[in-house]
Amino acid sequence: MDWTFLIVKLIQVIAVFAVLLTGCAYMTWLERKLVARIQSRLGPMNAGYQGLLQPVADMIKLLFKEDITPKHVDKFIYGIAPLASFIPATLSIAVVPFGDSITLFGRTYDLVISNLNVGILYVLAITSIGVYSIIMAGYSSNSKYSLLGGLRSSAQMISYEIGMGLAIVVVILLSGSLNLVDIVDKQGSFVGWYVFRNPVAFVVYFICAVAETNRSPFDLPEAESELVAGYHTEYSSMKFGMFFVAEYANMITVGAIATTLFFGGWHGPFLPPIVWFLIKVAAFQVFYIWARGTLPRLRYDQLMSFGWKVLLPIAVINVMVTAFFVL
């Protein structure tokens, strides 16, 4: 076992997760600020300059709230459901390359936690595991709102996963590799970005990704007027906090993977690679919030028929056309 290698990797892991979790915390601030601007309000202003300390205050509040477990819940499943949502949400980031390789002490390190050969498949696998937390929370809560919210959102996630997979197939066809580091390397120049070579795939991917993360305008599981708060209705305190953090972590991961697959990853002029990567991911987050602030929520049947009857055929035809041109 090579100790310097181990230590460098350990530092990478800690740094990436620290950035990811801080990013989650400040996503809540950004979201409240931006949505407030869209609605001509100020948003949080009191905690720190422009409310910058608001996430800290929120976290302390969540930690010290009473943890209520309703009667007749399936305690074991109820307890592990928040963990099952939090862990997959943070795991996918491990294969995303966030910079060029660097040389330290005579060895080169890729700026990615794990340079996996089947990186994309890993991401898809982790995403498909994420569904269970919602089903578990919905089932174990012993509440009709939770159950209906859980069923809805898992049906939604399964449906949109297929379109997302097909959009990713296009990227695999174009790059000829399942390795995310290779895919980034192949999009070196600005015109080589896959978003320009195949914009349809990107649009399909991003719509599916928004649905996958249960965000507005596809946030049916949390349709307040119908389902109170969906699958996490019965959760309180830090268990609720975990679902909350997982949602933002998922958004950041989706932004990071979209950047990697379609926007050339860390490539960019003048600025260092990591800065470019962060800028691109941040742009996706702003887009997410912007969509939430401006678009109305879809109806459930519209959502399902849109996924199966519009997005899926487009994705399939896109794969066929791309395969034809690649061959």
Partner 1 sequence: MEMFIFILAAIASVACCLMVITQKNPVRAVLFLIMAFVAQAILFVQLSAVFVAALQIIVYAGAIMVLFLFIIMLLNLRKDEFGGDRHPFQKFAAVALAALLAFELVIVALRDGSRSPSVSLPENFGSVESIGEILFTKYLLPFEATSILLMAAILGAVVLAKKRLDD
Candidate segments 8-16, 121-129, 265-273, 315-323, binder of partner 1 by CB under 8 A: 121-129
- Binding string to partner 1 for residues 51 to 90, with x set by CB under 8 A, is what? -----------------------x-xx-------------
Amino acid at 50: Q
Contact, 201 vs 170, CB < 8 A? yes
Return the number of the residue (173 or 274) whose C-beta is nearest partner 1: 173
Return the number of the residue (35 or 155) whose C-beta is nearest partner 1: 155
For the bound state, the minimum distance from the C-beta of residue 124 to partner 1, rounded and expressed in Å, comes to 6
Candidate segments 106-114, 134-142, 199-207, 299-307, binder of partner 1 by CB under 8 A: 134-142
139 contributes a contact to partner 1 by CB under 8 A: yes
169 contributes a contact to partner 1 by CB under 8 A: no
Contact, 230 vs 170, CB < 8 A? no
CA 108 vs CA 95, 112, 259: distances in Å: 17, 12, 24
Query: SS3 for 133?
Result: helix
Instruction: Give one DSSP letter per residue of 163-183, joined into a string.
Output: HHHHHHHHHHHHH--S-HHHH
Task: Candidates 25, 36, 83, 129: give the one binding partner 1 (CB under 8 A).
Answer: 129
For binding to partner 1 (CB under 8 A), which residues are involved? 1, 74, 76-77, 116-118, 121-122, 124-125, 127-129, 131-132, 135-136, 139, 147, 151, 154-155, 158, 161, 178
